[in-house]
């Protein structure tokens, strides 16, 4: 499963989210490839992924993509990330 983590600049909080998504996916025995992107570029690359994870504030910028977009309120909360990934396991 290809997962895209999106934040404002693509180098800060999206990297933190990526690390936590990879850890949770390993716990769930999911085979994932996680990449990061800034919000501006994400709409163009979202359709090349199976799932997009971003903050509730940035989710409206990804409207119109055919890829599911899930919002994560706390990028450090592994329980929240687990709840989301379990839907796709």
For position 12, what pLDDT does the model report?
85
CA distance from start to end of the chain: 9
If one counts the domains in the chain, the total is: 1
User: How many percent of the chain have pLDDT more than 70?
Assistant: 100
Q: Which two tokens stand for residue 48?
A: 């090349």
pTM above 0.85, yes or no: yes
pLDDT tens track for 7-43? 988 778 999 999 999 999 999 999 999 999 999 899 8
Secondary structure element (H or E) that encloses residue 20, with its range: helix 13-27
Query: Could you list the residue range(s) of the whole structural domain that residue 9 is in?
Result: 2-86
Under 8 Å between Cβ of 14 and 6 = yes
Under 8 Å between Cβ of 61 and 42 = yes
Q: Whole-number mean pLDDT of the chain?
A: 95
Which CATH number characterizes residue 67's domain? 3.40.50.2300
For position 80, what pLDDT does the model report?
98
For position 47, what pLDDT does the model report?
94
Under 8 Å between Cβ of 10 and 36 = yes
Q: Angle, nearest 10°, between helix axes 78-86 and 13-27?
A: 60
């Amino acid at each position: 499963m290809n997962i895209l983590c999106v934040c404002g600049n693509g180098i800060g909080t999206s990297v933190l989210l990526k690390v936590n998504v990879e850890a949770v996916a390993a716990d769930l025995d999911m085979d994932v490839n996680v990449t990061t992107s800034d919000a501006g570029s994400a709409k163009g690359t979202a359709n090349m992924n199976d799932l997009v994870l971003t903050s509730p504030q940035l989710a409206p910028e990804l409207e119109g993509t055919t890829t599911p977009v899930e919002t994560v309120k706390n990028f450090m909360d592994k329980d929240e990330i687990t709840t989301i990934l379990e839907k796709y396991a």
